[in-house]
Amino acid sequence: MKIRFLLLNLMPLLNTSHMKLLSLKNIAIAAACTLSFTLGGFITSKFEEQKITPATVKQAQTLFGLDFTNTEIDSMLLDLSDLRKNFTEIRKLDIPNSIPPALNFNPIPVGYTFPDKANYFKPEQISTVTMPADLNNLAFYNIRELGWLIKNKKITSVNLTRFFIDRLKKYDATLLNVINYTEERAMKQAAKADAEIRAGKYRGVLHGIPFGAKDLLAVSGKKTTWGSVAYKDQALNYDATVITRLENEGAVLIAKTTLGELAMGDVWYGGKTKNPWDIKRGSSGSSAGSASAVAAGCLPFAIGSETLGSIVSPSTECGTTGLRPTFGRISKYGAMALSWSMDKLGPITRSVEDCAIVFNAIQGADKKDMSVIEAPFNYTSPGKTLKGIRIGYIKSEFSSKVKSDSLSLLKLKELGAQLIPIEIPKMPYGDMLIILTAEAGAAFSDLVLTNRDDLLVEQGRGAWPNTFRTARFIPAVEYIQANRARTMLIQKFYELLKGVDLYVAPSFGANLLATNLTGHPAVVLPNGFNKEGLPTSITFTGQLFGEGKLLQAAEVYQRATDFNKKHPAMNF
């Protein structure tokens, strides 16, 4: 299943800034008049010269469902002309994608307190790991197993890094899941890791472990293409915070993985990233390469991102385990902005425990990203039972026809969880996604205004270019109203979840939309296979900043099943 962001019929933000706004009507009409003069999305001298007339306003207002009298329209004309001048002047500024608006989204509801009271992280310890006779079997070892082998000098980071680079190169010709290799950097990092370990300076379980990062993250010395023709030569000569934090733990970056162009779908300028379970299928998006490479045993883990399903969807398609953290948990410094108030970075791995290990390394405050909210993370490797854990389930979204979902509920009950039926609030979730499209339109305004949106690979009705163009035509008032509805939604969720520790739901449906708006964390993990033999998934959703208990519960469930232990045949 592909996430297309449900953008087809949504109208994004017109980003206005005018000191003389006299009423809400003026803002709406300002947007309407902009509609009349920005068709095609680029500035012309004609735009500045054309006179705004009552007829222009009457025609434009129909788009927004407004009905002003002749007198009201006449009184607006001079202000509308001034607004148009404001738009023109602001458009002359060079505002790169990395500059956020002077507004920070905060997902914390009134009265909320953090679930965890202190920071504590302790994954399960293992006594021994056996080196496989066939080194190809290393491809599907998890982080903890690989870490044990490196720490105990059963394999060097250099050899493990070379193994995964070679495997990536072997399968990339078919899977198309890598945009850039960071081979020279990786081999230097691996050699450094080995030297430190020999000297007794072991940094932790990630020390010497290779990984990949979605190519919307800046890496110095390498192009950061965002999967787009329009940016394929872009070089951002600094490292994203998540890259820096992983390398500080001793992890070794070996590749920048593919993403659907500008974080939609699985099609980028080099083709379509494939699902290793069935190469006739795409890997879904937009963290397409990260999920595909981990599923194929070409990376132990990778960093993805989600705005509206971009970790959940490819993880479902490829059978990986993904963590979408609480909004504000992880710094987005150095990451492409699509929606400043909805973008989230997170790990795609082989197991829930691997997600916890990577999350622990990359979460926390960052002075370079003011949207980060520092909160405790308390995680201890769980036991084998869910006794005493109150797990909600969205009753209306579970169907007896979907066997894997029904069996997941039975397994949770068998593990001792108290299952509590819940229903998420009734809100116009799809309509509220004008927040995403509004911010995306602002993030890529330059593409429209310079007509470079024509360079993008996908040009259909549901593709980014059409969305970005449509984004010029929404009043700022409607964007603000959608965010006010979002505040209501956050408070409703707070009240709903007081009675549970976490809840489960099928991975696709209203819950996916709702929780990407509220900023709640989620773990998506395999829960079976469909009749075609392809992975299916279920999503565990936690309290805001409740990743500790969320990961523990999901891990208990995963250890009681074996779906994440199954891997594609790779016979291509």
Residue among 341, 308, 305 nearest 323 (CA)? 305
Confidence at residue 402, expressed as pLDDT on a 0 to 100 scale: 85
The answer to whether 258 and 177 are in contact (CB under 8 A) is: yes
Q: Rounded to whole angstroms, how far apart are CA atoms 316 and 314?
A: 5
Residue among 533, 534, 500, 531 nearest 520 (CA)? 500
* Helix%, strand%, coil% for the chain, nearest 5: 40, 15, 45
Confidence at residue 400, expressed as pLDDT on a 0 to 100 scale: 73
For 35-64, how does the pLDDT look when each residue is reduced to its tens digit (9 = 90+)?
A: 433 433 444 445 666 899 999 999 989 988
- The residue written with tokens 């009507």 in the block is 25
Mean pLDDT, residues 524-537 taken together:
97
Q: Rounded to whole angstroms, how far apart are CA atoms 472 and 450?
A: 14
The answer to whether 305 and 335 are in contact (CB under 8 A) is: yes
Residue among 323, 331, 324 nearest 364 (CA)? 331
Is residue 444 over pLDDT 90?
Answer: yes
> If you write DSSP's letter for every residue of 338-365 in order, what string do you get?
S-TTT-EEEEEESSHHHHHHHHHHHBS-
Q: Rounded to whole angstroms, how far apart are CA atoms 244 and 213?
A: 12
Confidence at residue 542, expressed as pLDDT on a 0 to 100 scale: 98
Q: Facing residues of 274 across strands?
A: 282
For 327-343, how does the pLDDT look when each residue is reduced to its tens digit (9 = 90+)?
A: 999 999 999 999 999 99
Is residue 425 over pLDDT 80?
Answer: yes
Torsions phi, psi of 279, nearest 5? -75, 0
Percent of the chain with pLDDT over 90: 86
For the chain, the first-to-last Cα distance in angstroms comes to 23
Residue 541 pLDDT level (bands cut at 50, 70, 90): very high
Question: Residue 317, CB half-sphere, CA atoms under 13 Å: how many?
Answer: 31
For 456-499, how does the pLDDT look when each residue is reduced to its tens digit (9 = 90+)?
A: 999 998 999 999 999 999 999 999 999 999 999 999 999 999 99
Q: Rounded to whole angstroms, how far apart are CA atoms 123 and 104?
A: 33
The answer to whether 260 and 268 are in contact (CB under 8 A) is: yes
Sequence-ordered strand ranges (E) for 216-273: 252-257, 267-268, 271-272
Minimum mean pLDDT among 9-13, 237-241, 335-339: which range? 9-13
Amino acid identity of 26?
N
3-state secondary structure of 404: helix
Residue among 67, 95, 80, 100 nearest 18 (CA)? 80
Token representation of residue 362: 């990359």
3-state secondary structure of 421: strand
**Distant-in-sequence, close-in-space partners of 419: CB < 8 Å, separation ≥ 6:** 391, 392, 393, 409, 412, 413
Torsions phi, psi of 16, nearest 5? -100, 155
For 16-41, how does the pLDDT look when each residue is reduced to its tens digit (9 = 90+)?
A: 333 333 333 343 434 444 443 343 34
Residue 39 or 105, more confident: 105
Mean pLDDT, residues 145-151 taken together:
98
Confidence at residue 48, expressed as pLDDT on a 0 to 100 scale: 62
- Nearest-5° Cα angle at 484, 504 to 312: 30
Is residue 407 over pLDDT 50?
Answer: yes
- The residue written with tokens 């993030």 in the block is 443
In 199-271, where does DSSP find H-type helix? 241-248
Confidence at residue 401, expressed as pLDDT on a 0 to 100 scale: 75
**Distant-in-sequence, close-in-space partners of 397: CB < 8 Å, separation ≥ 6:** 505, 506, 509, 510, 511
Confidence at residue 33, expressed as pLDDT on a 0 to 100 scale: 41
Mean pLDDT, residues 533-547 taken together:
98
Confidence at residue 50, expressed as pLDDT on a 0 to 100 scale: 84
Is residue 518 over pLDDT 80?
Answer: yes
Angle at which helix 157-175 crosses helix 288-295, to 10 degrees, equals 110
Which pTM was predicted? 0.90
Confidence at residue 446, expressed as pLDDT on a 0 to 100 scale: 95
For 83-100, how does the pLDDT look when each residue is reduced to its tens digit (9 = 90+)?
A: 899 888 999 999 999 999
